[in-house]
Amino acid sequence: MKHLNTLILLLTVFSVQVVAQKGSISGYVRSADSPLEFVNVGLKNTSLGASTNQNGYFSIKEVPYGTYEITTSFIGFETQTKRVVVSSQNPQGTVNFNLKEAAARISEVVISGTMKEMTKLESPVPVEVYTTEFFKANPTPSVFESMQHVNGVRPQLNCNVCNTGDIHINGLEGPYTMVMIDGMPIVSGLSTVYGLTGIPQSLMERVEVVKGPASTLYGSEAVGGLINIITKKPSSAPLTAVDVFGTSWGEVNADVGMRYAAANKAQGLLGVNYFNYQNPIDNNSDNFTDVTLQNRISVFNKLSFARKSNKPFSVAGRYVYEDRWGGEMNWNSENRGGEEVYGESIYTSRWEAFGTYQLPVDEVINFQFSANGHDHNSVYGTTLYYANQYIGFGQLTWNRLFGRKHDVLMGLAYRYTYYDDNTPATAEADGAGNEPSVTHLPGLFLQDEIILNEQNKILLGARYDYNSLHGNIFTPRLNYKWTSENKNNVVRLSVGNGYRVANVFTEDHAALTGAREVVFEGELDPETSWNANLNVVKQIYTGNNSFIGLDGSLFYTYFNNRIVPDYETDPNKIFYSNLMGSAVSKGVSLNLDMAWTNGLKILAGVTAMDVTLEENGKRRRQLLTEQFTGVWNVGYTFLRAGLTVDYTGNLYGPMRLPLLGELDDRQEYSPWWSLQNIQLTKAFGSQWEVYGGVKNLLNFTPPANSIARSFDPFDKEVQFDDQGQVVPTLNNPNALTFDPSYVYAPNQGIRGFLGVRYTLSK
């Protein structure tokens, strides 16, 4: 009994001591000089937390002694994290916060709409902005794949064997989309197919997307829209950023970014991306690799110089090398170009340089330049394709305010393009020799942003270009914007003209598969288009401190001289010609953005569209273009545990597919299909993150017969008549030839992934 009483006494003393080892944390949360009510304040990796009262005051009690990271969460304001110690010397920890307003959806800075920095709210041109946090919800090894969760934007694979592709915007194919880095036209022409890989995502600040013609400011290739990749400024980039992940298929991707002092007055930003996949897989048993094998490295460097005038001056460069191949499972490099084992092998070497310099004068005059070279060495079966492209671009802009109502931008531009390959695209007229294509494209443009009053704004613009091959080109545009007094409602109306000069290589990759002969029907004239777009944005802040954002658009584009490849007349040929009729892309899209202070976020979007071609009184849907697409990103963050769950996905409606003739028994339309992913991300302090999950949860893959006659890739057992048409035979009753262009979805099935991120800010 005595021992029991002693034990009880000791436990009681111990319990008192344990209870005594607790304190509290309190403080105030303000924005400027105003208190913020209902702000969630929590201790990371614990269940302890509180909300602020009407005076902005919070108090967290029963806090065990220790060192904690305390964080805030409040819609419309940036999250802040501070460190606080609760101890016997400091049992009542105190910490105050002064929150900054977050870059709200309509307050983010954009440059793509008007070629000038302004908030998304003020821009008369609708611009969608996607930050790196958006892309982290489903990490991918390339910008090409990252765009799959942007509403109305779809990465389209163009070949079942080599897995090259392009970006569709509102149903318009890759050649209609201009891709830029820091506002400079970098990825275009030959590199449209390959240039979207190898951009170090650790250095990306955001991605801006403009849907609809932007040719008035950016010229050719901006007919369908543009994607502008904005890189971080060296002054604000992390000191070190590392992101490495791998998948259960054997893919490995590494992004490394580093900020450094290049000189006393120069800051540098270095980034390296490396991707490797060397694991041949044939799950659909067609004896072809489901995914191409790749070995790619990209090096990016950006320098920003401090000047006495504080005017911007920066230069950047990137180099990309990629070796990729796909084909029969027993293919190796010794079979390259032979006719025994089919393979598609591509060596790509590419360099880029670009920069901005503001002249040291009182006026705002900027000189921008870019240059790139692309060397291409590829083999598609026995078809050899070699190409070189060099592009030089220079642009001088002058921006000035005239009074209080006119914000004028004037510009002079010049673009030089050299392109040479071993196809009929650069052959002399008589076919006896080779004649590289050289294009000179000087131009000038004028833009006047007219501020009628605080709520109404008009943008007038016009551009004149002289193409050395096609002559004069004029592209005007008109934009109108209305903003409500509370800034939560915006209406934009845009009418514009676009043009595009053809580059046959970018028209369709199927021209190079070795399965078809390219035929040009006459001289290809430039395409022109007219586009109208109505955009409505509404933001709602509810009483329980949640946010709802709606962004809807109606779009209509009408084309003249549309360049259309014809796959259906002859299964052995692709006929390129200007459409003797018209083409139309029209539809409606809606984006939904919702956020709650409890950590739940929902981003979703749907687009319904109709892309058709009309010729000789006949109307048909464009190949490989869906009528419906939906995307979503649902995320929930357990703030106190530092754990985030992301569920992402997309849904596509049926597309018309390229059949090889009336006897082709494959489906004319693709089924409804969806790619869905889930990811868990765990934060360890402010520097480390570990993430992992599953991609393609539904394990969706297209049919195994997507490659026609995969067992006879050189058509050795196919019979043709005198006109070159396939003759049905006993072993080829459907009159097919080898063809990998029947492709609408990746062949890569379900797979797991695991990665780690490290960020050192100072």
- pLDDT range class, residue 608, cuts 50, 70, 90: very high
Q: What's the pLDDT at 138?
A: 95
Report the chain's mean pLDDT, rounded to a whole number. 87
For position 749, what pLDDT does the model report? 96
For residue range 7-26, what is the model confidence (pLDDT) as tens digits?
444 444 444 444 448 899 99
Answer whether residue 4 shows pLDDT above 70: no
Amino acid in the structure at residue 362: D
- With 0-12 / 13-18 / 19 or more C-beta atoms within 10 angstroms meaning exposed / middle / buried, residue 497 is buried
Round to whole Å and give the CA distance between 44 and 46.
5
- Say what the pLDDT of residue 511 is: 46
Rounded Cα distance between 127 and 131, Å, is: 13
DSSP state of 691: E
219 has a pLDDT exceeding 50: yes
Q: Is the pLDDT of residue 514 over 60?
A: no
Residues 41-70: what's their mean pLDDT? 86
Check residue 498 and give its pLDDT. 80
Mean pLDDT across 705-717 = 94
Distance, C-alpha 715 to centroid of its chain:
38
Note the pLDDT tens digit of each residue in 196-218: 666 777 778 899 999 877 777 88
Note the pLDDT tens digit of each residue in 324-349.
999 999 999 999 999 999 999 999 99
Residue 172's pLDDT is what?
A: 85
Quick one: what percent of the chain has pLDDT higher than 90?
A: 51
Give the model's pLDDT for residue 13.
Answer: 42
Query: Cα–Cα–Cα angle for 723, 724, 728, nearest 5°?
Result: 105
Across 351-363, average pLDDT: 93
pLDDT class for 641, splitting at 50, 70, 90? confident
Lowest mean pLDDT among 558-567, 639-648, 683-692: 558-567
Which tokens sit at 598? 């409890």
Q: Check pLDDT > 60 for residue 189.
A: no
pLDDT at residue number 628: 97
Q: Summarize the confidence of residues 169-182 as an average pLDDT.
A: 84
Classified as helix, coil or strand, 444 is strand
Among 244-253, 595-604, 662-671, the minimum mean pLDDT is found in: 595-604
Domains of the chain, start order:
2-98 (2.60.40.10), 230-760 (2.40.170.20)
pLDDT tier at 191, thresholds 50, 70, 90 = low
Task: Report the pLDDT value the prediction gives residue 555, as an integer from 0 to 100.
Answer: 95
Beta bridge partners of 288: 328
For residues 151 and 225, give the distance between their C-alpha atoms in angstroms, rounded to a whole number: 13
Q: Would you state the pLDDT for residue 512?
A: 47
Q: Is the pLDDT of residue 475 over 70?
A: yes
User: Based on C-alpha coordinates, what's the Rg of the chain?
Assistant: 29
Contact 565, 505 (CB under 8 A): no
pLDDT at 517: 65
Tell me, what's the pLDDT at 148?
A: 92
Residue 585 has pLDDT above 70, yes or no: yes
d(CA 286, CA 712): 11
Selected residue with higher pLDDT from 498 and 605: 605
pLDDT at 183 > cutoff 90: no
Closest to 103 in 3D by CA, of 139, 77, 67, 66: 77
The residue among 72 and 564 whose pLDDT is bigger is 72
Percent of the chain with pLDDT over 70: 90
At 470, give phi and psi (nearest 5°).
-120, -5
pLDDT at 77: 73
